[in-house]
Homo-oligomer: A and B are copies of this chain.
Amino acid sequence: MSEFDVWSIDARTGEKVEAVASTTTDAEVDAAATRSAEVAPLLVAAGLAGRARLLRAMADEIEKDGEAIIAAADRESALGQGRLSGELARSAYQLRLFAEVLDDGGHLELTIDHADPKAIPAPRPDLRRMLVPVGPVGVFSASNFPLAFSVPGGDTASAIAAGCPVVVKAHSGHPYTSQLAAAALRRAAASVAMPEDVVQVVHGRQAGTRLVVHPAIQAVGFTGSVGGGRALFDLAVARPQPIPFYGELGSINPFVVTPEAAAQRAESIAAGLAGSFTLGVGQFCTKPGLVFVPANADGQRLVAALGEAAGTIAGGPMLTPSIRDSFLSGAKQRAELPGVRAVLSAAGQISPHVLVASATALDDVLLEECFGPLVVVVEYGDESELFAALDRVPGSLTASVHCGDSEGAADSFAARVADRVTGLAGRILFNGYPTGVAVTWAQQHGGPWPATTFPHHTSVGTTAIRRFLRPVAFQDAPAGLLPAELREDNPLGLPRRVDGRYELHA
């Protein structure tokens, strides 16, 4: 073990605890990517049922090792046992939900058009379309979700469900957690007679770069910063064969309180916001970072209550020393901007910060995400001031609208706000708080740049599988050469569109 040079660091103390792995060499990355391509056909051959079994075994195995995995993740992230128990449960649930997706089969988009010699405008052949896996997928773990957006997380679950083996670049903040989780997933594969290498892990920044440009890798899932994500995105699209890079980068998550909502619920909104922007020490991609309140007495009440509520919430260690440094310098920079008033801040401290600015004098820096427990409140005078400011807000994962009791109709102020923010986010919340992302069929976790590299896809929810699939149409195939999914007699009992009409399996 003496050659190990990847250290597991205690996030609470900053101390090196133990070396848990070796930095992956270029040759090892190449071997992992090549091996991934070798095992890919076996994941395809396993079919829907085989991959569903694999996903359920993976859920079982990470639960079996739950205690050790949670302890490691807590040591490496300081996120706490409670939060991490929830994250493990969420990860297991997510793996099982993708098994349900495979049971359902709707994600294959099966479509059959029978031959029609009399078709207009020209005779047409028999065409049968389905989605097939794209091939090996590179996954970049997130700092702030050592489980649900890391080795056993959503990208891995959706890629495996699609039929794509993964090579995960472990986050430097939680290498030991990554090793433990990978071991559980690999053991699960072996338990259902699949190759362990459907999941592989690499360590080190250079390994990540090499992974993105390796010819065997056909898509990448990423959760991280705008800077790091953009650099890898640029590599992915500059390859001789460009590949899709599904990156979730930075998000300011605008949050609009209408005048009526402020009048009716200033204090309760303030309490909810305080809890949301400080959750997990503000280290959520959906943290509400920019809150619009009316520039009136109700807005002032809300700001005061927000400062008070947040003032009772403790800070805490952040995920890594560099995240801590970035937060402190980002908070300082913002607090010192002309026109910015600090309602709550403690210079040099990891504690909740509430800053206030005017919609008419909103510095560009305030529109950028500050990862950590900091919120910027923007006071707007009227609808035109609000909308002019919203027009400057970058694409986000979420946008929240808090509306009053009388604003539930399509001609209300709240309706106009909702319509406006739908243009800039992937999830629109009403009277709620964006932290906490449910894993369901309808979830959308993505949004216009820089929230994600492209807004067409999601990294949470069942449709995340679509990122790793491509369509193939079979024309006039002899029955015996068709994939089972497309056979006329529908032996797998799958839903499909036939001659233009969608049919559910009876």
Contacts and interface: CB of A to CB of B under 8 A. Distances in A.
Interface of A: 86, 89-90, 92-93, 100, 104, 106, 109, 111-113, 119-122, 124-125, 127-129, 132, 134, 233-234, 237-238, 241-244, 395, 403, 407-410, 412, 414-415, 418, 422, 425-432, 436, 438, 440-444, 446, 448-450, 453-458, 461, 463, 466-467, 469-481, 495, 497, 499-500, 502, 504
Name the 5 nearest CB pairs between A and B, nearest first. Answer: A444-B473, A408-B478, A89-B121, A129-B442, A127-B442
Contacts of A410: 480-481
A432 B475 contact: yes
B122 A442 contact: no
Contact of A134 (B112, B444, B455): B455
12 contacts: A100-B500, A104-B500, A113-B443, A119-B438, A125-B429, A127-B442, A233-B242, A237-B242, A242-B454, A428-B473, A430-B474, A441-B497
B129 A443 contact: yes
Contacts of A473: 426-428, 442-444, 461
Contacts of A441: 111, 113, 129, 497, 499-500
A450 B479 CA distance: 30
B93 A463 contact: no
A226 to B, nearest CB: 11
Contact of A124 (B242, B438, B470, B481): B438
Nearest to A446: B471
Given A472-B425, A481-B430, A113 B497 contact: no
Contacts of A474: 427-428, 430
Contacts of A238: 234
Contacts of A481: 403, 408-410, 412, 414-415, 418, 430
A422 B113 contact: no
Nearest to A87: B121
Contact of A112 (B111, B436, B442, B461): B442
A494 to B, nearest CB: 11
Contacts of A111: 441-442, 463
Contacts of A495: 502
A123 B253 CA distance: 22
A498 to B, nearest CB: 9
Given A241-B450, A456-B466, 20 more contacts: A89-B120, A89-B121, A111-B463, A112-B442, A129-B442, A129-B444, A129-B463, A233-B237, A233-B242, A237-B242, A241-B448, A243-B454, A409-B480, A427-B474, A430-B477, A430-B478, A430-B481, A446-B470, A455-B470, A502-B504
Contacts of A477: 418, 428, 430
Contact of A438 (B92, B93, B122, B415): B122
B449 A241 contact: yes
Given A426-B472, A504-B504, A122 B480 contact: no
Contacts of A90: 121-122
Nearest to A425: B472
A241 B452 CA distance: 10
B120 A93 contact: yes
Contacts of A476: 429-432
B242 A475 contact: no
Nearest to A426: B472
Contacts of A241: 395, 448-450
B120 A427 contact: no
Contacts of A422: 132, 472
Given A113-B440, A471-B444, A497 B456 contact: no
A27 to B, nearest CB: 22
